[in-house]
Amino acid sequence: IAALESWRALGLNISIDDYGTGQSSLGYLQKLPATELKIDMSFIQTLVSDRRNAIMVRSTIAMAHELGMKVVAEGVEDGACLQQLAEMGCDTAQGWHIGKPMKAEALEALLVERRAAASVLAVNDRRKPAQPLHRPPAVAGPPPRTGEEWLRSAYDAGDAA
C-alpha cells in the first residue's frame, strides 16, 4: 500500500479492476489510494435484464463517486446497456459496442477520422441561429442524453485533456 501511495503522490492514477468479483472488495476501497473503479463485466452485461445487477451497479457508481473515484463499466455490448450506464452517471464505458480490439495503426486512423467528423460538426453548429425560433418549456435538470451523446462528450473531453 505504501508503494501505491507513493505512486499516487507522483500523480499516477490507480485502478481497481474487476470490481465486484474475486479479491476486489469493499476492503480495497477502504485501504487502496485508487482513483478509478472498473466494474466487472459480469454485472454490466446483464444490467438491462437483471434488476438486481442494475441496483448493484447504480449503488457502486454512486459510492465510487462519493469516494472521489471515476467509474469504468467493462463489457458494454449494446446500446441499451450504454444508455442505462449514462443515465446512472457512469464516467467511462468499454466493450465491443464501443469498439473492438484493434492495432495501433487502425486506432490512429479511426481517431483521425473522428476528429475530422467532429470538426465538420463544429462548423455546422456555428451556422445555426443563436436563438431558437421556438423555446421548449423549461424543465428541471439537464435533458437526458443518448448513449451516442454521452460517448461524444467523453471523446471531446479526452481531446481537451
Rounded CA-CA distance 14/34 in Å is 5
What pLDDT band is residue 28 in, cutting at 50, 70 and 90?
confident
| Residue 105 is a catalytic residue | no
pLDDT for the residue 121: 62
Among the listed residues 112, 120, 87, 114, the one whose alpha carbon sits nearest the alpha carbon of residue 98: 114
pLDDT digits (tens, 9 = 90+) for 69-84: 999 999 999 999 999 9
Query: What is the pTM assigned to this prediction?
Result: 0.67
Confidence band of 132 (pLDDT split at 50, 70, 90) = very low
Mean pLDDT score, 119-128: 58
Q: Which of 36, 66, 74, 148 is catalytic?
A: 74
Task: Tell me which of 8-22, 31-45, 102-116, 121-135 is least confident.
Answer: 121-135
Contacting residues for 123 by C-beta, under 8 A, at least 6 apart: none
Whether 43 and 71 have beta carbons less than 8 Å apart is answered as no
On whether the CB atoms of residues 92 and 74 are closer than 8 A, the answer is: no
Of the CA atoms within 13 Å of residue 52, those in its CB half-sphere come to 1
Decide if pLDDT at 2 tops 90. no
